[in-house]
Amino acid sequence: MMSNSDNKSIQSQVSRRKRKDQFYHGLMIGLSVITILPVILIIFKLVVEGIGQISLEFLVQTPPDSFEAMSATAAGERIPGGIANGITGTLLMVSVASAMAIPVGILTGIYLYENPKKFLAGLTRNVSDILQGVPSIVLGLIAYLWVVKHITNGFSALAGSVSLAIMMLPMIVRSTEETLKMIPVSIKEAALALGVPYYKVLLRVLIPTGFSGLLTGILLGISRILGETAPLLLTALGSSRINLDITEPVSAIPLLIWEFYNDPNMVDLIWSSSLLLMALVLFLNVTSKQIAKRKK
């Protein structure tokens, strides 16, 4: 039989546990909110400050000079012009960087998957991990030494692309290897048992099977380099006009943001450019998440 006092102590114990439970539950929710709050605040601020500048003109024109911007601001008008040179520059450099990093990264990833225990594979894996941690400004310096000094003899989109490609490479290598590792060995063996030559097994069975994984890696890699600024300062330099020649200096959205920051008359353009960049990065991230989800 349970005495009355026992019953009471159990009740108080239970209610104490319940309060503790509620406390930790609340703490968890609070900390989660703190985690996502910065992102929400950033997006909110960017939209509020930047949306006013966004228009077709913003996408197809080059930036105004300081005087034009000043007079527009003084008159309380929208700053004329846009960031077309930055958009085309970013697209150019990201495309060239992808064209360099994707094939090399995927082939390296395949090599690591095929020869997991070889010395060279272990070395490659470690080096690619180290590469991922190299500060981007250092990669910019390296591209400056290699390309700016010796190949294009001056600041160039190519140099920018090389530094971005080196940044992107380790992500693609590792995501390729991890994706292929998830494919059951028996799928590969089944194709080989049909007498299919190895390169066709790779091209027509393994890569299609892991396609969404590879694509996710590539999109995340692109979203990673999209906003890089530091290495571009040393390589692409920036340009006030639209340039599609990879041997010439070129602008980029993050470079323009840096330039606008240095000009007190251009403040509004900082917000709108950042908004556009953020939107691109978010779009790539969400797309890659959707692809990864569909895979499961």
Task: Pick the binder of other proteins from 102, 205, 218, 266 (CB under 8 A).
Answer: 205
Query: Around Cβ 12, how many Cβ atoms within 10 Å?
Result: 10
* Planar angle of CA 236, 100, 253, nearest 5 degrees: 35
Stretch that binds other proteins, among 20-28, 93-101, 195-203, 215-223 (CB under 8 A): 195-203
23 contributes a contact to other proteins by CB under 8 A: no
Stretch that binds other proteins, among 19-27, 98-106, 165-173, 189-197 (CB under 8 A): 189-197
* Planar angle of CA 271, 272, 274, nearest 5 degrees: 65
Task: Pick the binder of other proteins from 209, 235, 251, 272 (CB under 8 A).
Answer: 209
Contact 260, 69 (CB under 8 A): no
For other proteins, the binding residues in 115-174 under the rule CB under 8 A are none
Stretch that binds other proteins, among 76-84, 104-112, 207-215, 249-257 (CB under 8 A): 207-215
Cα distance between residue 128 and residue 4, in whole Å? 68
- Find the shortest distance in angstroms from Cβ 213 to other proteins: 12
> What residues pair up with 237 in beta bridges, in sequence order?
250
Stretch that binds other proteins, among 33-41, 156-164, 167-175, 185-193 (CB under 8 A): 185-193
For other proteins, the binding residues in 44-73 under the rule CB under 8 A are none
Residue 194 DSSP symbol? T
215 contributes a contact to other proteins by CB under 8 A: no
Cα distance between residue 88 and residue 86, in whole Å? 6
211 contributes a contact to other proteins by CB under 8 A: yes
191 contributes a contact to other proteins by CB under 8 A: yes
Stretch that binds other proteins, among 31-39, 200-208, 232-240, 266-274 (CB under 8 A): 200-208
195 contributes a contact to other proteins by CB under 8 A: yes
* Planar angle of CA 124, 128, 130, nearest 5 degrees: 120
Task: Pick the binder of other proteins from 26, 135, 197, 264 (CB under 8 A).
Answer: 197
Burial of 293 (0-12, 13-18, 19+ CB in 10 A): exposed
Count of residues near other proteins by CB under 8 A? 19
- Find the shortest distance in angstroms from Cβ 112 to other proteins: 16
Contact 102, 172 (CB under 8 A): yes
Q: Taking the C-alpha atoms of 109, 208, 294 and 175 in order, what is their torsion angle to the nearest 10 degrees?
A: 0
For the chain, what is the largest distance between any 2 Cα atoms, rounded to a whole number of angstroms? 93
Cα distance between residue 296 and residue 292, in whole Å? 7
- Closest to other proteins by CB, 75 or 185: 185
Task: Pick the binder of other proteins from 84, 112, 143, 201 (CB under 8 A).
Answer: 201
- Find the shortest distance in angstroms from Cβ 254 to other proteins: 37
**Three-state SS at 240:** coil
List interacting residues with other proteins (CB under 8 A).
Answer: 184, 186-187, 189-197, 200-201, 204-205, 208-209, 211
